[in-house]
Amino acid sequence: MKKILSILFLLFSLALSQIDLQESYISYKGTHPLHSWEGISRDLNFNMQCTGDHCVLDVSAPLESFDSGNDGRDSNMLYYTESLQYPEVRFKSESFKFTGNFDTSIDVMGELIFHGITRKIPVKIVLYKNLDGSTITDWGKCSFNISLDSFKVSRPSLLMVKISDEIAVNVKLKLLNK
pLDDT for position 87? 97
**pLDDT by residue (tens digit) across 110-137?**
999 999 999 999 999 998 877 666 566 7
The confidence band for 51, taking pLDDT boundaries of 50, 70 and 90, is confident
Q: Average pLDDT for residues 48-72, to the nearest whole number?
A: 92
pLDDT for position 134? 58
177 pLDDT higher than 70: no
Q: Average pLDDT for residues 11-31, to the nearest whole number?
A: 74
Q: Average pLDDT for residues 11-28, to the nearest whole number?
A: 71
Q: Average pLDDT for residues 95-119, to the nearest whole number?
A: 88
DSSP characters for 98-167? --S--SEEEEEEEEEEETTEEEEEEEEEEEEEEEETTEEEEEEEEEEEEETGGGTPPPPEETTEEPPSEE
**pLDDT by residue (tens digit) across 148-166?**
999 999 988 888 888 899 9
Tally of domains in the chain: 1
9-13, 18-22, 66-70: which has the highest mean pLDDT?
Answer: 66-70
75 pLDDT higher than 90: yes
pLDDT for position 35? 85
User: What domain range is 127 assigned to?
Assistant: 2-175
Name beta bridge partners: 46: 59
pLDDT for position 6? 37
pLDDT for position 44? 94
Indicate the average pLDDT of the chain: 85
Q: Which helix (H) or strand (E) segment is 78 a member of? A: helix 71-80
Residue 92: CATH number of its domain? 2.40.128.110
Q: What is the pTM of this model?
A: 0.81
